[in-house]
Amino acid sequence: QKVCFADFKHPCYKMAYFHELSSRVSFQEARLACESEGGVLLSLENEAEQKLIESMLQNLTKPGTGISDGDFWIGLWRNGDGQTSGACPDLYQWSDGSSSQYRNWYTDEPSCGSEKCVVMYHQPTANPGLGGPYLYQWNDDRCNMKHNYICKYEPEINPTAPAEKPYLTNQPGDTHQNVVVTEAGIIPNLIYVVIPTIPLLLLILVAFGTCCFQMLHKSKGRTKTSPNQSTLWISKSSRKESGMEV
């Protein structure tokens, strides 16, 4: 799912979950998928952002959704070969260039060695380990392993919508879709109301014009007289008035 916030301050995120294991992707494939849509593979700035992502992922574990286990690639990785020394955790960096030093490793992680790319655990049905349930903590894994992934985008500018309101763009099972939901302002809403009434207004205008034309035509017909009628009441012979002599 792609999730945006109407205050246009928070980044947008997309939870790309694939129920079919064969549809999941490697670290590099996930990175390219995010970049092809104008985003980046998730980087986390602080604990608050980590908790925000956790709250979004909790929707995937609600009863009846049919969605359960499946770790998510995030944008943290290590560029190097086979480091197993104590300095290994310091070699991880964000693929989008973020300088964030925030980390949320599971107990005994990272294991380093050939595992260079990082996932966020999402295994709600797994038995808890030494670090508790395998949910939301980080683990390094081989970069060619197949997982889900989380993308991060610049904020969507939507100043007409109420602040702090998230928009879920599609249902949990439809993770291949990526449609941004926004709210229209007052003017676009008026347009949606006015446009459908235009044909009716034109029909009324034509009918009114036709009636006016017919009334005007009839009025002219009544006032016009013919040449034969112009002398109808004039006598052709002069009438002598009785009782009057010149």
Coil, strand, or helix at residue 208? helix
Distance of CA 203 to CAs 91, 199, 208, 211, Å? 73, 6, 9, 12
Task: Tell me: do 44 and 9 sit in the same domain.
Answer: yes
Cis bond before residue 110 (omega within 30° of 0): yes
Confirm whether 230 is domain-assigned: no
Task: Tell me: do 13 and 134 sit in the same domain.
Answer: yes
Average confidence (pLDDT) over 98-120: 94
Confirm whether 76 is domain-assigned: yes
At 36, which CATH number? 3.10.100.10
Checking DSSP bridges between strand 148-153 and strand 72-78, what pairing results, if any? Answer: parallel
Distance of CA 225 to the CA centre of its chain: 72
Average confidence (pLDDT) over 158-175: 43
pLDDT in tens, 48-98: 999 999 998 887 777 666 667 999 999 999 986 555 556 888 999 999 999
Confirm whether 85 is domain-assigned: yes
Confirm whether 246 is domain-assigned: no
Across the chain, what does the average pLDDT equal? 77
Share of the chain above pLDDT 70, in %: 66
Average confidence (pLDDT) over 140-145: 97
Task: Tell me: do 205 and 147 sit in the same domain.
Answer: no
The pLDDT value recorded for residue 183 is 33
The pLDDT value recorded for residue 84 is 55
The pLDDT value recorded for residue 85 is 57
pLDDT in tens, 34-53: 999 999 999 999 999 999 99
Task: Tell me: do 65 and 7 sit in the same domain.
Answer: yes
The pLDDT value recorded for residue 221 is 59
Task: Tell me: do 114 and 191 sit in the same domain.
Answer: no
- In the chain, % helix, strand, coil (3-state, to 5) comes to 30, 20, 50
Task: Tell me: do 6 and 111 sit in the same domain.
Answer: yes
Task: Tell me: do 146 and 189 sit in the same domain.
Answer: no
Distance of CA 93 to CAs 44, 100, 103, 150, 156, Å? 11, 9, 11, 17, 26
Confirm whether 61 is domain-assigned: yes
Distance of CA 216 to CAs 1, 207, 212, 221, Å? 65, 14, 6, 9
Confirm whether 173 is domain-assigned: no
pLDDT in tens, 182-201: 333 334 444 444 566 677 77
165 against 62, higher pLDDT: 62
Confirm whether 237 is domain-assigned: no
Number of independent structural domains in the chain: 2
Task: Tell me: do 84 and 203 sit in the same domain.
Answer: no
CB 155 within 8 A of CB 5: yes
Please state, in angstroms and rounded to a whole number, the distance separating the CA atoms of residues 170 and 89.
37
pLDDT in tens, 222-236: 555 444 444 444 444
Domain end (from 157, 173, 200): 157
Task: Tell me: do 153 and 65 sit in the same domain.
Answer: yes
**Residue 237 binned pLDDT confidence (cut-offs 50, 70, 90):** very low
Closest residue by Cα to residue 156 from 33, 34, 32, 38: 38
pTM score, two decimals? 0.63
Task: Tell me: do 83 and 193 sit in the same domain.
Answer: no
Task: Tell me: do 50 and 135 sit in the same domain.
Answer: yes
The pLDDT value recorded for residue 211 is 77
Confirm whether 232 is domain-assigned: no
Task: Tell me: do 58 and 146 sit in the same domain.
Answer: yes
What is the domain extent for residue 209? 183-217
